[in-house]
Every structure is written in C-alpha cells, then in structure tokens.
Amino acid sequence: MIFRSSISFCQVPLLTLCLLLGSQYPTQAAAPPCLPVGLRCEYLPNPLGIDASRPRLSWYLQDTRPGARQRAYQIRVGTDSLAVGRGQGTSWQSTQTKTDQSLVTYQGKALEPFTRYFWSVTVWDKDNKPATSAVASFETGLMDAKNWQGTWISDGNDVALKPAPYFRKVFTAAKKIKSARAYVAVAGLYELYLNGQKIGNHRLDPTYTRFDRRTLYLTHDVTAQLQAGQNAIGVLLGNGWYNHQSTAVWYFDKAPWRARPTFCLDLRITYEDGSVETIGSNRSWKTALSPVIFNSIYTAEHYDARLEQPGWNTPDFDDTKWKNTTHRSAPSQQIVSQTLHPIRNVEAIPAQSVKKLNDTTYVFDLGRNIAGISQISVQGPAGTTLRLKHGERLYDNGRVDLSNIDVHYRPTDDADPFQTDIFILAGKGEERFMPRFNYKGFQYVEVTSSQPLSLTQESLKGYFMHSDVPPVGRVRSSNPTLDKIWWATNNAYLSNLFGYPTDCPQREKNGWTGDAHIAIETGLYNFDGITVYEKWMADHRDEQQPNGVLPAIIPTSGWGYHWANGPDWTSTIALIPWNIYLFYGDTQILRDNYDNIKRYVDYIHQQSPGGLTAWGLGDWVPVKSKSPVELTSSAYYFVDARILAQAAKLLDKPADHQKYTALAEQIKSAINAKYLDTSTGLYGSGLQTELSVPLHWGLVPDEHQAAVAQNLARRVAADGYHLDVGLLGTKALLNALSENGHAETAYQLAAQETFPSWGWWIVNGATTLYENWPIDAKSDISMNHIMFGEIGAWFYKALGGIKPDPEQPGFKNILLEPHFVKGLNHFEASYLSPRGEVLSAWQRTELGITYRVVVPPNATATLTLPAAEGSTMYLNEKLVKPSPTSPKNAKPVHRLTAGTYRFELPGL
Ligand code: BGC
C-alpha cells in the first residue's frame, strides 16, 4: 500500500473522485469505450406481440471507465432496420434528451398492429461523445380485439370428457411467403404444430389467468415452418386451470369459467408481393380425440400411445373420420398478449440413481427436489401400462411416499392418482413419454409396470420447469452451508414461478399472496422477474372485489375471500408494486395499481377506524411461539398506507399523499400505544416476531430503536441463536438485526446448522426450502415452499449490503453497506441491476478486510463502511480518512461514481 494523500471522500464531489481514480483504469484500445446494450422492449429482448400503445424501451451502458455515465440519449424507431441503423427513425426520432434515464416510454407516431419496429439508441457518454447501440426490434401484436379474424372454436364435448382434443386445418399458400405469424389465444393450454413440427419451446402456454376476465394470446414466428403449396396447422388443447377435472379443497372443478378448452387462432401470412392472407380458426377446422387420454394441471397426465395418429398435423393426413368443430363464445372480453418470459424445461436433470425393487418396480432418484416433469424412454409390448408416481419422499421400503403432499386432494375415484402419470405403450420399439399439460413437485419417480420391464438409470430424466426468468444475481461465500441455502432458496423460488408465484409445486400450485410478498426481494435480487409480476398484478386487479377485498390466492375459483386474506397476506397489492418500483425505477406498476391499493387501504380503514386490525392469519407455521395477529396485521396495514402515501407523492396526488401519510401515522401510533412498552423497549412479550416486525417495517419511534434492537438480539441469544418465528417473522428477523447494529447475531442465525434453522434443513440434505421447521413435522410439510425464503434477499442486503435507494430507485443510486461478519472469510454478491452489474465482495486478509466494489456505469453509490473515526483505510492503494467533520463514531460514508474500487480496511 502506498501512502499518497489523505482525502475525505464524504466531501469529494463525484466527478473529482472518478478523475482521481481514472489513471489506474486505462481503457482497452480496441473495444468502444461506451456502448448501450441490453436493449429491451417491455422488459423483453426483441419481443413479438406487443399490445402496449406506448411500450417501454430500456438499455444500459457497457462502459468500464471510472465515472462512466450517460449525459443524453436519442432514440429512433422505424420500420426500416437499415434506416434505423443509419440513424433515422420514421416512427419516432426523439430529440437529444439530456438525462441519465435509460428507461423511456415510446412517444412517436401511433404504432400499427402486426408491425415489426426497429430501434436503436445513441447515448452521449461522460465526455459527451456519442455511442450508438446495435439495432433491436419489437413487433406489435393485434393491439385491438377487432383485429382478430378467427372465431373461438372447440370440439363441442362436455367438460367431463377426459381425452384432449386435436384440431387441424389444411390450407394452400399460393404465393411466395415473406413472413408468417401465428396468433393463438387459448382458454386452457395448447401445443401448436405446423407441418408436423412443434412450434417453439415454451411449456404450459398460456399462463394462468382468471379466464373469464382476461385471456392471453401468444405470437409465434412460423415463417420457417411454412412451405409453398399445402400446409397443415395442428393444435392440441389441454385443460390447464380452465377445465380442472381433478377435485381438491379449493374447488377449481367448480370455477365459474370452467368449460371444455377452446381457442382462437389467426395465422397471418405476408407474401413477397406485400399481400396478406389470414387463416383463422372456424368451423371448417377438423377435430378428433388425441392419445392424451387425461390431463390435469394439478395431478398428472395419461397417454395411450396406441391411439397415436401418425401425421395428424401434416397436410397429407386423411382426416375424413375427424369431426367438424363448433363455435364458442370468447371466454372473456379482454384478449391480451402474453408478454412474459415463458415457462420452459429449463434444466435437464439426469437420474442420479435407480433402484430396482422388483421386476415391475423401479425407483429413480434425481438427487434434488424440483418442479417439473420426468421423461421416460422405454421399450415393451403394446398395452403395457406404466405408472410414474412422483414424490418428494420415500418410505422405508424404498417406495415413493405422497403422504406429505396429497393431503388436500379429494379424488372421487381411483382413476386420477396424485402426481402419477400413466403411459400405455404402443409396442413399437423405443418409446418416449413426457407430459405436456402438467407439472409436479418431486425428487423421486416410482415406475411400476403392468409387466416386467428392463429399465436403467438412463431410462428417466427430470426437467426443472419454471418461468424462464433470466438470472441476475449471484452469491458466494466461504461458508458452504450459506451457499447451499442460497441455492436451495433459488430452487424453491423458481419451483414456484409459473407465470404467477405459487406456494408449492405439488400439493397446491396456488398463487398464495402471503408467500409471494415474503419472497419478492429474494426473487428480484436473483431473477429478472418484472414481467411475471406485472402480469400477476393484472390478476390481482381481475380478482379484487369492488369494496377493495382481495382473495388469499390469486387467481382463484372464488375460494379465499373468506379466509386467510387479511393484510398480512393480500398486501401483495401494495408490496409487489412498491418493490418492483424500487428495483426497476419504473412507476408504471404503481400507476396501474394505484386505485387498487387505495381501495384496499380504504376498506381496512372502514373496518378498523382505530388503526388496529386483527384480520389475518398471523405468523404462519411458527417454530413454537405465537405472536399476536393484531400486531402483525396492523403492521402490514401500516406498510400499505405508507406505500400508498409514497405512491401518491410520486404520482403527484398531494391530497392523497397528505391523507395517507396521516393514516400511516395514526396506525403507527395505535400499534405503539398498545404494544410498545417504552420503559423496557419491548413489544408484547418480546418474542422474535413481536420485536422484529416493528423494527423491520419502520414502526419503532427513533428514540426506542436501539433498545428494541438490543432486546431482539438478547432474545435471539436466549433462544440459542435459533429461529422462533413463522412466515412473517422470517421476513423481518434477519433485517431487523442487521439494520440495527446486530449483523453478527443475524449471521449466527442465518448460518445456524442445528434445529430450528435453514441450515438444519441443508445439513439434512435439503435442496429446496421447506414449509415447516421440523423435518419430521406431521402437517404443513411440503418440501418445496418459498415462504421462508427472505434469507435469499438478506444475503444481498446485509452481507453484500446492496440495496436500492428509494430516493433514486432502479439502482440509479445504490445503497451499499456490507457487514463484514466474523464467521465469514469472504463473501461476494453480484447483481445485474437495470444499470448494469453491481459487485460487492469482501475478503479477510492478515491485515484486515479487502473490499471490492463495482458501481455500474450511469449509477452512483452511497457506501457506508463500518470503520470507526481515526482508523486508516486505503482506497485503490491511497490512504483515505473519514471526514473530520463526521460525528464521533459515525460510519464513514463515501459517494462513489461508476467504477471499480478496492478498499483495504484494518482488522474489524
Ligand atoms: C399454503 C401456504 C399459505 C397458507 C396460508 C398453505 O396451505 O401452502 O404457503 O400461505 O396455506 O394459509
């Protein structure tokens, strides 16, 4: 380390700081110093089927120079890619706009439906030099229901009929094809084929909505699959949540929308001569039943390969025995584009072992718990029936045990066994089966066969399925248990993301609201999830009662308006939009849901004018102690009122801002008046949840914070650094400690390996998070729940110390405050923010701590380090001293511009 100068970084203006550091980071000669990259439209790369009339465009900078930033941007949008590449936008040419914003709403000429638009952005970098992105695109969809040509059709069968229907249509393409798109709106699920080829790699499209209020359509580019002359379109429809034939406690079989699956399809062909032809679904389409003899999103799929009709989706197939289709009314008045990262078979998971129990029974083990499906390859005589039972546990005799996950299933006969696919062989050599319209939660698959079969470890593999949201975060540390908790948390999160967040992938697959708001930060630190959450908030709006009440599960058949839907669960209406705003810096989700949040808060206010409400479930599945429901529910009510007040301010509604700020204060006072003992600093009887919920959610008056936090740390120590919380407590506990001077205590809890703790699950082999603390609990024992998953966010917030700044959201300014906890030798968190990659990494050395930070271009950071006044610290090998004006013992604060920093701190 070289002593050069001593500087107070609190007082150094941003630009000076980057100039100071600049000499150590020479730019590479060849690469352009600044490039706008990551171009997205509506948060998707080059999407098709955009219905928004003013889509959002975003990018970030690739620029490693210290102090890199954007001084201005100019966007061009047009239908001619070459012209856009040359810098001309005929649809929109924005002015050179002096701002660091990199999220912009389209403001050009009205967009036309069915049109591919190209766009690029030029930015002016820190030196005012222009740099232009590559050309990206987005394509509009139908934009308006009146643009549909097709009619909704089905096979006219009854809801109770089990086999899934095929549909086909042959047509002639008379001219040379330039491009073609298939627009497919479905109530149910579908697979689309053209000339025998399956289109795309999505699974379980369209994602689940309340079908009678909003129905989704997909857009496929099918140019490559069409041919001159005769073409065949094939569609296979599944039931999904639309025609729920299985029976369980949530009454999806009685859903008001339930009907035989139906679809509307427009195949829109643009010929080389510019003419357009649309082949729409109508009664001329033919239908027949498929070999999918049963399919349930909830339980499983049954397939009889003997019923296959080879070539059913090709032009030459003889369909004279097929029936005509029938017309149907549209399932809802809102047919809108699905603009989401789709569900896919994201990861193939080979079986780790197989055990042959007898000639007809094998049990495969994937070695980890997943949501998804299995695929089997097998050879055997025609009519051989295989049953593939999927579960998370084994009985002592080695067979698959479903007793932890089939508890809410209410079968009316034995034809629909839980999580058990049935595959009947055609007897034609090697055959393969993978269900199309179902997924499960499992680690083990027990295959039983009606006659002896020879199977090997390679005969079966699993596919981890989920919404294929791009990973954006990574955590690594010197503690393997911690790293495994992070991995297991992400596995549980993804296992519960299927176009809407769920509680568990096996027993329920329900959009439980409480579980989802607990997991929102874990989700957003690790995955680019905005598209799924924006869609799910539309599901909320579809389900909200006029009086503001929301159901506990969303979407719902109607169940959940009567139980479990207090503010501790359904505050999703405020918490999800607020967190999306913090992470993405986009106000649209607040705008879209503002009235809904308001109706919700007003409802609680009407019911509980005094500010306290006991509406809710409370600290669900606690270890042992039960905290008062009124305390936790009122805390969430407070949070909602505060978010509403903040949103009102952002959206320029001063009267609302005033009103709801006052309401939040009233609720806070009511809670403190009843629960806070100001002489002891205890809430209630001083349980972990009672103390951490008020601390985490900002209810504790400033002057009592230290005492309450101290009490919490003492409580945790008295509990042997073990958890004594349920779902609401897990959200608050670690944060309440680490944000109030007790990071070491928080770490001891997080890294704990004896019962009850997250680590206890891990050392006992968990690869996902569980629903209950004891591994041998008798109830609430799904092995793939995300509701205790806040720890996945805490790693970033406390150990990495990376947080969005509510004053400058979207990581425009990053709040950095790492905690160098004693138990760890190194820790590293990286997060691809909307402005680029943030890195916070620290390592213990003989001399102290080396701390590396990367602040992405076009962002700043406020870094708070734990050094005390007077101690030496080096930044990029230069000695730095905290500000002489900083109050004694105050933590030094550094304002950083974009760049890479290396701090060396004395032993801490
Ligand atoms: C779900 C939970 C949910 C809870 C609420 C359970 O059955 O699986 O995760 O939040 O019910 O009551």
Question: Is the CB of residue 568 below 6 angstroms from any atom belonging to ligand 1?
Answer: no
pLDDT at 1: 30
Contact 133, 35 (CB under 8 A): yes
Shortest-distance atom of ligand 1 to CA 617: 12
Burial class (CB in 10 A: 0-12, 13-18, 19+), 274: exposed
The answer on 351 and 456 residing in a single domain is yes
Question: Is the CB of residue 787 below 6 angstroms from any atom belonging to ligand 1?
Answer: yes
**Residue 28 is assigned to a structural domain of this protein:** no
Burial class (CB in 10 A: 0-12, 13-18, 19+), 795: buried
Shortest-distance atom of ligand 1 to CA 785: 9
* CATH number of the domain enclosing 565: 1.50.10.10
Question: Is the CB of residue 191 below 6 angstroms from any atom belonging to ligand 1?
Answer: no
Give the integer Cα–Cα distance in Å for 387 and 443: 16
The answer on 837 and 770 residing in a single domain is no
pLDDT at 30: 65
* CATH number of the domain enclosing 855: 2.60.420.10
- Alpha carbon of 633 to ligand 1 centroid (Å): 16
- Alpha carbon of 617 to ligand 1 centroid (Å): 10
- Alpha carbon of 563 to ligand 1 centroid (Å): 11
- Alpha carbon of 503 to ligand 1 centroid (Å): 7
Question: Is the CB of residue 52 below 6 angstroms from any atom belonging to ligand 1?
Answer: no
Shortest-distance atom of ligand 1 to CA 508: 8
**Residue 11 is assigned to a structural domain of this protein:** no
**Residue 172 is assigned to a structural domain of this protein:** yes
Q: Give residue 906's Cα distance to chain centre.
A: 40
Side chain identity at residue 416, one-letter code = D
- Cα R_g (the chain), whole angstroms: 29
Question: Is the CB of residue 641 below 6 angstroms from any atom belonging to ligand 1?
Answer: no
49 to 52, 113, 137, 141, 539: CA distances (angstroms)? 9, 9, 12, 4, 19
- Alpha carbon of 571 to ligand 1 centroid (Å): 15
The answer on 517 and 663 residing in a single domain is yes
Question: Is the CB of residue 248 below 6 angstroms from any atom belonging to ligand 1?
Answer: no
Shortest-distance atom of ligand 1 to CA 504: 8
What phi and psi values does residue 539 have, to the nearest 5 degrees? -60, -40
Shortest-distance atom of ligand 1 to CA 727: 10
Give the integer Cα–Cα distance in Å for 881 and 564: 53
Contact 631, 690 (CB under 8 A): yes
**Residue 76 is assigned to a structural domain of this protein:** yes
pLDDT at 413: 93
Of 898, 783, 893, 906, nearest to 851 (Cα)? 906
Give the integer Cα–Cα distance in Å for 649 and 700: 23
Contact 435, 303 (CB under 8 A): yes
Question: Is the CB of residue 619 below 6 angstroms from any atom belonging to ligand 1?
Answer: no
**CA-based end-to-end distance of the chain:** 18
Give the integer Cα–Cα distance in Å for 406 and 847: 56
Question: Is the CB of residue 504 below 6 angstroms from any atom belonging to ligand 1?
Answer: yes
* E strand map for 379-419: 385-391, 393-394, 400-401
Per run of 10 residues, the mean pLDDT along the chain (length 908 residues) is 32 34 42 94 98 98 97 98 96 97 98 98 97 98 97 98 98 96 98 98 98 98 97 98 95 96 98 97 98 98 98 98 97 97 98 98 98 98 98 98 95 96 97 98 98 97 98 98 98 98 98 98 98 98 98 97 97 98 98 98 98 98 97 98 98 98 98 98 98 98 98 98 98 98 98 98 98 92 97 98 98 97 96 98 94 97 77 81 55 89 86
Question: Is the CB of residue 503 below 6 angstroms from any atom belonging to ligand 1?
Answer: yes
Question: Is the CB of residue 63 below 6 angstroms from any atom belonging to ligand 1?
Answer: no
Other Cβ atoms within 10 Å of 713 Cβ, number: 19
- Alpha carbon of 312 to ligand 1 centroid (Å): 43
Shortest-distance atom of ligand 1 to CA 507: 8
User: Which residue is listed with tokens 């160098």?
Assistant: 820
Determine which residue's CA is closest to atom 2 belonging to ligand 1.
503
DSSP class of residue 553? Answer: B
Containing structural domain, residue 856: 815-906
Question: Is the CB of residue 405 below 6 angstroms from any atom belonging to ligand 1?
Answer: no
Question: Is the CB of residue 514 below 6 angstroms from any atom belonging to ligand 1?
Answer: yes
The answer on 854 and 757 residing in a single domain is no
The answer on 778 and 660 residing in a single domain is yes
- Ligand 1 pocket test: pick from 249, 407, 503 the residue with the most ligand atoms within 8 Å of its Cβ: 503
Determine which residue's CA is closest to atom 4 belonging to ligand 1.
512
Shortest-distance atom of ligand 1 to CA 552: 5
The answer on 767 and 672 residing in a single domain is yes
Give the integer Cα–Cα distance in Å for 695 and 689: 10
**Residue 366 is assigned to a structural domain of this protein:** yes
pLDDT at 450: 98
Q: Which string of DSSP letters, residue by residue, matches 770-815?
A: -SSSSTT-SSS--S---TTTTHHHHIIIIII-EEEBTTBTTTTEEE
Give the integer Cα–Cα distance in Å for 364 and 157: 38
- Ligand 1 pocket test: pick from 406, 495, 508, 509 the residue with the most ligand atoms within 8 Å of its Cβ: 508
- Alpha carbon of 493 to ligand 1 centroid (Å): 15
- Alpha carbon of 553 to ligand 1 centroid (Å): 9
- Alpha carbon of 318 to ligand 1 centroid (Å): 50
Determine which residue's CA is closest to atom 11 belonging to ligand 1.
512
Side chain identity at residue 483, one-letter code = D
The answer on 759 and 611 residing in a single domain is yes
- State which of 140, 162, 179 marks the end of a domain: 140
Shortest-distance atom of ligand 1 to CA 564: 12
- Alpha carbon of 512 to ligand 1 centroid (Å): 7
The answer on 773 and 825 residing in a single domain is no
Question: Is the CB of residue 250 below 6 angstroms from any atom belonging to ligand 1?
Answer: no
What phi and psi values does residue 424 have, to the nearest 5 degrees? -105, 125
* CATH number of the domain enclosing 416: 2.60.120.260
Question: Is the CB of residue 786 below 6 angstroms from any atom belonging to ligand 1?
Answer: no
The answer on 422 and 286 residing in a single domain is no
Total number of domains in the chain: 5
- State which of 325, 340, 355 marks the end of a domain: 340
Other Cβ atoms within 10 Å of 367 Cβ, number: 16
**Residue 181 is assigned to a structural domain of this protein:** yes
Contact 319, 233 (CB under 8 A): no
Looking from the CA of 206 toward its CB, the CA atoms found within 13 Å total 28
- Alpha carbon of 554 to ligand 1 centroid (Å): 12
What does pTM read for this prediction? Answer: 0.95
The answer on 513 and 588 residing in a single domain is yes
Give the integer Cα–Cα distance in Å for 251 and 700: 42
Question: Is the CB of residue 564 below 6 angstroms from any atom belonging to ligand 1?
Answer: yes
Determine which residue's CA is closest to atom 3 belonging to ligand 1.
512
Give the integer Cα–Cα distance in Å for 761 and 754: 9
pLDDT at 26: 40
* CATH number of the domain enclosing 128: 2.60.40.10
β-strand pairing of 72-78 with 826-833: unpaired
Task: Tell me the helices (H) and strands (E) count for the chain, helix number first.
Answer: 17, 46
DSSP class of residue 110? Answer: P
Determine which residue's CA is closest to atom 9 belonging to ligand 1.
503
Question: Is the CB of residue 617 below 6 angstroms from any atom belonging to ligand 1?
Answer: yes
* E strand map for 468-549: 473-477
The answer on 431 and 528 residing in a single domain is no
pLDDT at 13: 35
| Local structure of 248: helix, strand or coil | strand
**Residue 219 is assigned to a structural domain of this protein:** yes
| Local structure of 178: helix, strand or coil | strand
The answer on 390 and 427 residing in a single domain is yes
**Residue 16 is assigned to a structural domain of this protein:** no
- State which of 311, 340, 369 marks the end of a domain: 340
